[in-house]
Amino acid sequence: MLLLSVDEGALLRHSLPAAIAQHGADVVVVDNASRDDTAAVAADHGVRHLGLAVRRSYAGAINAALAQTGGDAVLLLNADCFLAPGFLAAARPRLAESGVGSVAVKLLRVAGPPPPALGEVDACGMSLDRRRKNGLVGHGAAPATYARAGEAFGADGAAALYRRETLEQCAYAEEVLDEDMAMWATDADLAWRARTLGWRCVFEPEAIGHHIRSYSPSTRAAMPEAARRQQFRNRLLMIAKNETWAGVRRDGAWIAAYEVLALGHALLRERELLGGYVEAARLLGGALARRRELAARRRVARPPFGLEPRP
């Protein structure tokens, strides 16, 4: 279990004990050059502390941690996510199922370390629609919904369980998460890549976590311009890397219509997003190089839209 902290020692004091309490958990605190007491919190709880000397992006920090740790299963966990008892016991067996490379879990929204619950679902995995727009399944729904296991497009990065084999197959060289994308939508990009390589993702409702969501449909307006611009451009990079010609032929009208609307929105409502096009163009060469590498391993041509658990 890789528990990432970026100056989040105060949250880690709550999320780390919950992680350690999971049966069979081997917890590593990934300290992304924090300037607070993250290292001390890890020491207080007697777990391995993996300190990065220089602050890296989310993708870079996770890639570094994956390269320095082992295990046939890996839970990527953020310090603002607090696991409920029995989380790992419910999620871990799902990886033994044929073709399952990742497990999406049931995240409930909180305003801080439990119990300040907001009374709604945060995410029950991720979805991808015919516009190639990724989203959070069930965000804002009543907590009692999404009680049935099912198929999902992918696992939200706040708490995502993977087979190590899946991550290794998805890697470009040693880069599992795309470091050009840095943070927002890197989990969706990884999910699409895993689907393309033939891996499934399943949703397990008995694996429950409580999460402080920073970027979501309900919080987007409060996010900094840079974060909104990065998410905007990363969707374009994700499409450039993972889309197939078969998908474009079938859903080109959906994709084009959404892109026209997105451009109109940027021009009329959020002009700061226009820089996302410039950034995407600058990073396109790297995206296409990753696409070429992925093409040699591609097993599934059909885009994985519409895969999400039902309420």
Quick one: pLDDT band at residue 114, thresholds 50, 70, 90?
A: confident
Using H for helix, E for strand and C for coil, what is the string for the chain? CEEEECCCHHHHHHHHHHHHCCCCCCCEEEECCCCCCHHHHHHHCCCEEEECCCCCCHHHHHHHHHHCCCCCEEEEEECCEEECCCHHHHHHHHHHCCCEEEEEEEEEEECCCCCCEEEEEEECCEEECCCCCEEECCCCCCCCCCCCCEEECECCCCEEEEEHHHHHHHCECCECCCCCCCCCCHHHHHHHHHHHCCCEEEEEEEEEEEECCCCCCCCHHHCCHHHHHHHHHHHHHHHHHHCCHHHHHHHHHHHHHHHHHHHHHHHHCCHHHHHHHHHHHHHHHHHHHHHHHHHCCCCCCCCCCCCCCCC
Tell me the average pLDDT of the chain: 95
Tokens of 154: 């992918």
Quick one: pLDDT band at residue 216, thresholds 50, 70, 90?
A: confident
Has residue 300 got a pLDDT over 90?
no
Quick one: pLDDT band at residue 197, thresholds 50, 70, 90?
A: very high
Average pLDDT estimate for 6-31: 97
Is pTM, for the whole model, over 0.75?
Answer: yes
Has residue 122 got a pLDDT over 80?
yes
pLDDT value at residue 46: 98
Quick one: pLDDT band at residue 298, thresholds 50, 70, 90?
A: confident
Quick one: pLDDT band at residue 17, thresholds 50, 70, 90?
A: very high
Residue 282's Cβ-count burial label (10 Å; 0-12, 13-18, 19+) is: exposed
pLDDT value at residue 173: 86
**All structural domains of the chain with their residue ranges:** 2-211, 220-295
Has residue 304 got a pLDDT over 80?
no
Name the residue with higher pLDDT: 184 or 221.
184
Please tell me the CATH code under which domain 2-211 is placed.
3.90.550.60
